[in-house]
Structure 1
Amino acid sequence: MGLSTHVLDTANGKPAAGMTVSLYAIHGQEATCLSKHVLNNDGRTNTPLFSDGALQAGTYRLAFEVAAYFKAQSTPQNDPPFLNVVLLDFGVADPTQHYHVPLLVSPWAYSTYRGS
């Protein structure tokens, strides 16, 4: 069906509007960038990462530019930041299902899960 993401800034208690997220296809040791997005005011992409029928079985990576986002928010971080880019590699076994990959993030920790 499709692929979506949603990022919540747990340090500031709000959606991560303005964070840049890149989507990659992983083939062995190679990562091919498929698209780059800036999250909207709800912490989501304005368009689906994959729309109906385009998602294929395989391995993918979402790269969340966490440090740049928190710097733009004036959220205190170490120098260098503890988290710079959060890379989430995940597998799509059944492309007829929807895959939602949310990220809960602060400058010091993150959590993810397969959402609905």
Structure 2
Amino acid sequence: MFNFNNKIENISVDQIEQELQNGAILIDIRNEDAYRQGHIKGAINIPMKLLPFKIQELDKDKTILVVCYIGGSSVVACKALSKAGFKVKNVVGGMKAFRGNLTVGN
């Protein structure tokens, strides 16, 4: 399904776990160091600068959740992914809003 109006659906950090249980993929677009210092369990690190080169590795049949530091860069990434034909959801507030346990390392 294409998102022709480029309007991005937003979700809260509290909805991430349910989305993942429903088969969504969570990508963390922060830089590698920030990701290693703490990320949401199950997140895949694809730094924003590498997204154009890694986009072909993502599954278009899955919903893609995008998280960044505070929710701004993820909107840009969501628009690019949506334009490329992906179903995407932006995580509002980013990692700053996340209050769960973080995974450290890769």
* TM-score bin, normalised by smaller chain: under 0.3
Q: Which has the higher helix share?
A: 2
Q: Which has the higher strand share?
A: 1
Q: Which structure has more RCO (C-alpha within 8 Å, separation ≥ 6)?
A: 2
Q: Rg: which structure is higher?
A: 1
